[in-house]
Amino acid sequence: MPYRAPVTDYQFLFDHVVDLATVTATERFSDADKDVTDAILTEAGRMCEEVMYPLQRVGDLTGSVLENGVVRTPKGFAEAYGQIAEGGWISTSADPEFGGMGLPHSITTAVNEMMSGACLSLQLNPLMTQGQIEALEHHASDEIKATYLPKLVTGEWAGTMNLTEPQAGSDVGALNSKAEPNGDGSYAITGQKIFITWGDNDFTGNVCHLVLARLPDGAPGTKGISLFIVPRNIPDASGEPGVANSLKVVSLEHKLGIHGSPTAVMQYDGATGWLIGEPHDGMRAMFTMMNNARLGVGCQGIGVGEGAYQHALAYALERKQGRTPVEGGTGTIVDHADVRRMLATMRADLFAARAIAMACAVAIDMSTATGDAEWKARAAFLTPIAKAFGTDTGIAVAEMGVQVHGGMGFIEETGAAQYARDVRITSIYEGTNGIQSMDLVGRKLMDGGEAAYRLLDEIEAHAEEARATLPELAEPVWEATETLRETTEWLVAQTDMNNRFAGSVPFLKGFARILGAHYHLRAAMGEEDKGPRTKLARFYITRMLPEHSGLLSQAVRGAEDLYAISVEDLGA
């Protein structure tokens, strides 16, 4: 079946749910009015459907390979990348000073999600470059910016980030890579990095690696790490790719999914690099790239989930199996109650996850446009929720898509299994979802819960407003929010961080459940209580929102019962 980019869903979200007009009313983003936004979404949707989606199966079946030290990408990837770059889809939010469009991050996030639904393996490449552009804009010297940003913005060059080493995964501070001054302002970078997404390709003139390494006087741990840009080919005097640098792709990982995306083991042997930001401040610079990448990965989960949902719906509308008591039905399996339940669950959860992600993107834009501390706190608070819930939803939806197909879902030829394999990495990318939940109850509650409470106040205020027209939906949202407030207060009161961490995953999921209900209620109100979104809101709030109760009950259990189970007990 063909993929259809969810353009109308985004238009409705921006107009009625997350209020993009607040962003475009600012001086910074005043050019991105509704006409411009709708045109961009429409054109991006066309590109996703016609250029990227035809490569979805090609990339999975062929994969990228390493031949004699050269990465070879699947047939059609180079041409499609060329159209992505030519269309400006890499640089939608980049600084116009270097050729970018300067559009709101909300629009970029929407486009990236649609691209992920069309072909995640290829979309990973522009996402990495976008993150590198942002890091260089904030932290690089003027000279580095002038050399690298114009090429990255046009897509002539691609960017990566190099954090992980064999002995240093989430514990980045345990890295062994080192950087020695060359005496001319450059550094010699030595070490090995693993899991490097799009570590090389055969269609850009250069690949620029952002590499974490330790200077000779760098302290142990994360506080002694610096960030360097290390290009595959060293730029010559005119800024064009010159001699090959002392780095190479050692191997490509054999992965569960995203076969079209080359995930490389990179070896640096005294490779020439240049410092980005201040010495020993590499983590702060890298987190500029990672934070928005976390939202981007959340939307990758949503995008793949959208593709899986469309695939399952098309199958359910065609497959005839068994008999149901539905009068005037389609005669296909979509008439079966459980299949209808699965499809409604998939659709409702995707809407919730997408709305949360867009609310996070709007907060990022408002923080950028106004510098307001409350918007910055809102963006920071929503980021781990958007990342974890978006990817968990994508995984659940893709798995449910296999189930809708029944036995045919387990057969690779139908394509249902690919979505489940491809999306699985997203809950691990950019900090596992467990790390996201720990961040939520740790750093994001360090303000005493102020950012959380402001969000809860808004949800309750909207529920109060909605009581006049949709009381049967507004009341459960309001009551669930009160339970969430009490749970948040309990977590804030815990001085033993392990008590917070023990309940962090169910707390994040419970928070997301209630946020999802809030945005569904806003959608129903925006639709004026008539239409498909109101029906979907009723399904979500009556059938899915009640899950919050069990989740939040787990969140306040503390850690004692976990550690009452000893290591020996686990192996008994």
CA distance 111 to 105: 10
Confidence of residue 170 (pLDDT cuts 50, 70, 90): confident
CA dihedral 258, 260, 263, 265 (to 10 degrees): 140
Task: Tell me if residue 412 is catalytic.
Answer: no
pLDDT digits (tens, 9 = 90+) for 74-106: 999 999 999 999 999 999 999 999 999 999 999
Catalytic residue among 137, 430, 460, 527: 430
Q: Given a cut of 80, is residue 139 above it in pLDDT?
A: yes
Average pLDDT, the chain: 96
| Domain spans in the chain, listed from the N-terminal domain onward | 7-151, 158-280, 433-572
Residue 260, Cα to own-chain centre: how many angstroms? 19
Residue % of the chain over a pLDDT of 90: 92
Antiparallel, parallel or unpaired: β 70-72 and 157-162: unpaired
Residue 87, Cα to own-chain centre: how many angstroms? 22
Residue % of the chain over a pLDDT of 70: 99
pLDDT digits (tens, 9 = 90+) for 439-495: 999 999 999 999 999 999 999 999 999 999 999 999 999 999 999 999 999 999 999
pLDDT digits (tens, 9 = 90+) for 276-294: 999 999 988 877 777 778 9
CA distance 32 to 25: 9
Q: Which DSSP category does 15 fall into?
A: I
List alpha helices for 140-180, DSSP H: 142-154
pLDDT digits (tens, 9 = 90+) for 262-276: 999 999 999 999 999
pLDDT digits (tens, 9 = 90+) for 178-234: 999 999 999 999 999 999 999 999 999 999 999 999 999 999 988 899 999 999 999
* pLDDT at residue number 328: 83
Give me 97's structure tokens: 């000073």
Give me 150's structure tokens: 């114009």
* Section 426-433 average pLDDT: 94
* Section 248-268 average pLDDT: 98
Topology alike, domains 158-280 and 433-572: no
Alpha carbons within 13 A on the beta-carbon side of 253: 18
Cβ atoms of 113 and 62 within 8 Å: the answer is: no
Model pTM?
A: 0.97
pLDDT digits (tens, 9 = 90+) for 395-422: 999 999 999 999 999 999 999 999 999 9
Cβ atoms of 355 and 18 within 8 Å: the answer is: yes
pLDDT digits (tens, 9 = 90+) for 285-333: 877 777 778 999 999 999 999 999 999 999 999 999 888 778 888 899 9
Superfamily in which the 7-151 domain is placed by CATH: Acyl-CoA dehydrogenase/oxidase, N-terminal domain (1.10.540.10)
Q: Given a cut of 70, is residue 1 above it in pLDDT?
A: no
- CATH code for the part of the protein at 158-280: 2.40.110.20
* pLDDT at residue number 330: 87
* Section 330-358 average pLDDT: 97
* Section 128-157 average pLDDT: 97
* pLDDT at residue number 197: 97
* pLDDT at residue number 287: 79
CATH class of domain segment(s) 433-572 = mainly alpha
More confident residue, 37 or 169: 37
